[in-house]
Amino acid sequence: MIRHVVITGPESSGKSTLATLLGEQLHWPVVDEVARTLLTASGPVYSREDVIRIGLTQLQHNQQMLMQKGRVVADTDLLTIHIWLEDKFGAADESLIQLWLDHIPDLYLLQTPDMPWQPDPLREDPERRTYLFYRYRSWLDQYACPYLVCDNTVNERLIRSLEAIRQDR
């Protein structure tokens, strides 16, 4: 039974929108992206240690909600932190990789970068979204994580996601 869903993928691919819609449709709690909150307060300049702290905080929030409510839709998880660390600082953090492997969700919903780019002061890579999508897919494939690729319109993504979650009940 699916109880832990994580929306993942490159920037501006509709993750937050899908997380909100799924939460509403399923009546599940949604854990927002911690990075957005923390970086909005501190600004778009960050260090490797900041990214690791963001990842640990995201994991804590996701796990707390899962334990409290028994099910959760998370806007992101440690997979994003690994890709972020690799991309911006040249290497992921081995201890975070193990934490990620210890907390793989029941289903990832991997968002394709075919949504229009939405400018935002915290977004960095409008030209590299396809490359980053394939980095996500590579990690998911390498570790045989359960995932569904979500593409096309927001409504089509929502319908396919709900079907995947509900068929496993």
Q: How confident is the model at residue 45 (pLDDT cuts 50, 70, 90)?
A: confident
pLDDT in tens, 85-106: 999 899 988 999 999 999 999 9
Task: Please give the pLDDT value at position 78.
Answer: 97
Spans of all domains in the chain: 4-167
Amino acid at 113: P
136 Cβ partners below 8 Å, 6+ apart?
A: 8, 9, 10, 79, 83, 110
Residue with tokens 């993750």: 15
Confidence (pTM): 0.93
Instruction: Tell me which H or E stretch contains 71.
Output: none
Report the mean per-residue pLDDT for the chain.
92
Crossing angle of the two packed helices 48-69 and 94-102, in degrees rounded to 10: 10
Domain covering 4-167, topology: Rossmann fold (3.40.50)
Q: How confident is the model at residue 63 (pLDDT cuts 50, 70, 90)?
A: very high
- Phi then psi for residue 48, to 5 deg, are -55, -45
pLDDT in tens, 123-157: 677 688 999 999 999 999 999 999 999 999 999 99
